Amino acid sequence: MDVAYVNPFISATVKTFEMMMKCDVKPGAPTVKKDASFSFDISGVIGLSGDALGAIALSFPKDVALKAVSAMIGSECTEIDYEVTDGIGEITNIIAGNAKIGLSKFNLSISLPNIIIGKDHTIQSLSDIPALLVPFASTIGNFSMEVALKTP
C-alpha cells in the first residue's frame, strides 16, 4: 500500500485521543510490518470496504486501554469488562470513521468492530497485502496501529 494512505489514520488517531481523551499522542514513523513481533492485551479491529479494501487494528497494553477508556467515559475502569471492550470498539470505530473522510476517493464504508482480548496476542494481515505499523507514544502510555489497504 502507498504509505501516504496511512496518514489519514494517523491524524484521525491523534485527533480522536485529543478530543475524546484529552490526551496528547505522538505518532512514530510508519513501518511495513514484517512479522508478528508486537503483542498486546486488547485490540479493536475494524474492516473497510468500497473502492479499496482494508482493515485497521488498534492494539493496547491492558493499562493503556483502561486509562484510555477511563478518560473517554470519565469514570475509572480497573478491569477489562464490557465498558472497556465497548470503549475500545468505539475508539476504533471513530478513528476508522474519521480516516475514511481523508480517503473519500475510495468511498470507504466501515464494518462493525470486533474487540480481541488475550495476553500477548498478535494481529496479521494476508502476507500479500502487508500492513503498515504505526507506533504511538502518549501521556497515558504507548499503543500501536496496524493499517492494511488494498487499492485498485
Q: Applying CB under 8 A, which residues contact a copy of itself?
A: 36, 39, 43, 45-50, 53-55, 57, 82, 85-86, 89-90, 109-129, 148-150
Least distance in angstroms from the C-beta of 85 to a copy of itself? 5
Minimum Å distance from CB 129 to a copy of itself?
Answer: 6
Q: Which amino acid is at 145?
A: M
Nearer to a copy of itself, 109 or 139 (CB): 109
By beta-carbon proximity to a copy of itself, the closer residue of 57 and 140 is 57
Contacts of 34 (CB under 8 A, 6+ apart): 130
Question: Minimum CB separation from a copy of itself for residue 78, in Å?
Answer: 18
Q: Whose grid coordinates read 504505526?
A: 134
> Would you say 27 or 146 has its CB closer to a copy of itself?
146
Count of Cβ atoms closer than 10 Å to residue 144 Cβ: 21
Least distance between a copy of itself and beta carbon 117 (Å): 5
Q: What is residue 144's three-state secondary structure? A: strand
Q: Name the amino acid, one letter, at 132.
A: L
Q: Which is nearer to a copy of itself, 87 or 138 (CB)?
A: 87
Backbone angles phi, psi at 41, to 5 degrees: -100, -30
Provide the CB-side half-sphere exposure for 20 (13 A, CA): 20
